[in-house]
């Protein structure tokens, strides 16, 4: 059986009913990462939240955007690109996944070190816990920071503490120059050490990744910054320019979430108490963390 709520209030009612009946739930949206995690309890009913979609508020001047959790990364990218902005999540699998899944799994893409991981980009959210309570945490502006940070708690919880219904995120300005180089790092001569120094230095790249025996380096910023970074890249070994779309192809060929997932994630005493507070009857995605659900 699959339930598809159209609103957050309808979702809350469904979870409240599941809590009262002790019905286990498997939460999905686009389903692009199904089969990439530990199995949810086989008797869990499917709760499809893909219908909770659409951008609610976008304020380019504040570099913030609020959207429902079923909104795809591609939809956010389309809305922000006209203003020279983006939310640089770049999750593995491509841009057809949803904001809710990306933040629920804390999946970080190749630019996360330089531009921020989901926990860095989330400034607020709305979610429904395992009792059916609708909870709002954080806000829609970057400076809204007060009290216990429920937003960061829910990011990376894999839907085991609550079902995210709405997210407010911080955006970044798109780089004026964005280019990628494929580098054959020289053996010896300190090239690897220089590469690491470059990665951590003031002219650091947007992303860096090993691919087929070479190192892909993505540079981004204004023209002067990228020119200076490019000169460093050329000292590391034979460098050839690449189509920047190679990053999308790499993400699509490896479609699995990259957030933290440990088999003992719900096994320590603190996590057990947190789980009991938000989902006392253990109905939300039971087993996805590798824990027993019998």
> pLDDT tens, 8-27?
999 999 999 999 999 999 99
Domain count, the chain: 2
Tell me what the mean pLDDT of segment 222-251 comes to: 94
181 and 169 belong to one structural domain: no
Asked, for residue 163, whether it belongs to a domain, the answer is yes
Query: What confidence score (pLDDT) does residue 260 get?
Result: 59
For 96-119, how does the pLDDT look when each residue is reduced to its tens digit (9 = 90+)? 999 999 999 998 889 999 999 999
106 and 6 belong to one structural domain: yes
d(CA 80, CA 58): 8
62 and 192 belong to one structural domain: no
60 and 39 belong to one structural domain: yes
80 and 197 belong to one structural domain: no
Query: What confidence score (pLDDT) does residue 271 get?
Result: 81
Query: What confidence score (pLDDT) does residue 37 get?
Result: 61
Asked, for residue 286, whether it belongs to a domain, the answer is no
142 and 125 belong to one structural domain: yes
Q: CATH number of the domain at 208, please.
A: 3.30.70.260
152 and 54 belong to one structural domain: yes
180 CB-contact burial (10 Å; exposed 0-12 / middle 13-18 / buried 19+):
buried
Domain holding 190, by residue range, is 177-253
For 170-211, how does the pLDDT look when each residue is reduced to its tens digit (9 = 90+)? 999 999 999 999 999 877 778 888 889 999 999 999 999 998
Tell me what the mean pLDDT of segment 75-81 comes to: 97
Query: What confidence score (pLDDT) does residue 262 get?
Result: 46
d(CA 240, CA 135): 50
Say which range, 70-79, 131-140, 168-177, 233-242, has the weakest mean pLDDT.
131-140
| % of the chain with per-residue pLDDT over 70 | 90
Asked, for residue 110, whether it belongs to a domain, the answer is yes
Q: CATH number of the domain at 47, please.
A: 3.30.465.10
Asked, for residue 74, whether it belongs to a domain, the answer is yes
Asked, for residue 291, whether it belongs to a domain, the answer is no
Take residue 275 and report the two structure tokens written for it: 């789980």
248 and 274 belong to one structural domain: no
**Which of 205, 210, 206 shows the shortest CA–CA distance to 254?**
210
45 and 168 belong to one structural domain: yes
Query: What confidence score (pLDDT) does residue 34 get?
Result: 64
112 and 127 belong to one structural domain: yes
223 CB-contact burial (10 Å; exposed 0-12 / middle 13-18 / buried 19+):
exposed
> Given pLDDT bands bounded at 50, 70 and 90, which one contains residue 83?
very high
Contacts of 187 (CB under 8 A, 6+ apart): none
238 and 167 belong to one structural domain: no
65 CB-contact burial (10 Å; exposed 0-12 / middle 13-18 / buried 19+):
buried
Q: Give φ, ψ of 148 to 5 degrees.
A: -70, 135
For 44-71, how does the pLDDT look when each residue is reduced to its tens digit (9 = 90+)? 999 999 999 999 999 999 999 999 999 9
Contact 170/141 with Cβ under 8 angstroms? no
Asked, for residue 88, whether it belongs to a domain, the answer is yes
Asked, for residue 283, whether it belongs to a domain, the answer is no
pTM of the predicted protein model: 0.89
134 and 62 belong to one structural domain: yes
162 CB-contact burial (10 Å; exposed 0-12 / middle 13-18 / buried 19+):
buried
Asked, for residue 284, whether it belongs to a domain, the answer is no
């Amino acid at each position: 059986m699959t339930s598809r709520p159209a609103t957050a209030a309808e979702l809350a009612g469904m979870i409240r009913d599941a809590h009262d009946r002790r019905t286990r739930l498997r939460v999905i949206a686009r389903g692009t990462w199904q089969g990439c995690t530990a199995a949810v309890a086989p008797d869990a009913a499917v709760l499809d939240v893909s219908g909770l979609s659409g951008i609610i508020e976008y304020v380019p001047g504040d570099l913030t955007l609020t959207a429902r959790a079923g909104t795809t990364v591609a939809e956010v990218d389309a809305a922000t690109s006209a203003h020279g902005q983006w939310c640089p999540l770049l999750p593995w699998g491509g841009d057809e996944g949803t904001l809710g899944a990306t933040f629920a799994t804390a999946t970080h893409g190749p630019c996360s070190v330089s531009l921020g991981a989901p926990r860095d980009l989330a400034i607020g959210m709305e979610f429904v816990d395992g009792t059916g309570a609708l909870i709002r945490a954080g806000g829609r502006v970057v400076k809204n920071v007060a009290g216990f940070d429920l937003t960061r708690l829910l990011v990376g919880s894999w839907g085991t503490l609550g079902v995210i219904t709405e997210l407010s995120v911080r955006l970044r300005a798109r780089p004026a120059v964005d280019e990628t180089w494929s580098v054959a790092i020289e053996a010896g001569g300190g090239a690897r050490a220089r590469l690491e120094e470059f990665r951590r230095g003031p002219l650091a790249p947007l992303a860096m990744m090993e691919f087929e025996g070479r190192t892909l380096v993505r540079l981004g910023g204004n023209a002067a910054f990228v020119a200076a970074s490019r000169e460093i890249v050329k000292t590391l070994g034979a460098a050839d320019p690449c189509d920047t779309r190679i990053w999308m192809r790499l993400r699509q060929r490896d479609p699995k979430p990259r957030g933290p997932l440990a088999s003992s994630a719900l096994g320590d005493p603190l996590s057990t108490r947190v789980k009991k507070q938000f989902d006392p009857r253990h109905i939300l995605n039971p087993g996805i963390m590798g824990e027993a659900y019998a």
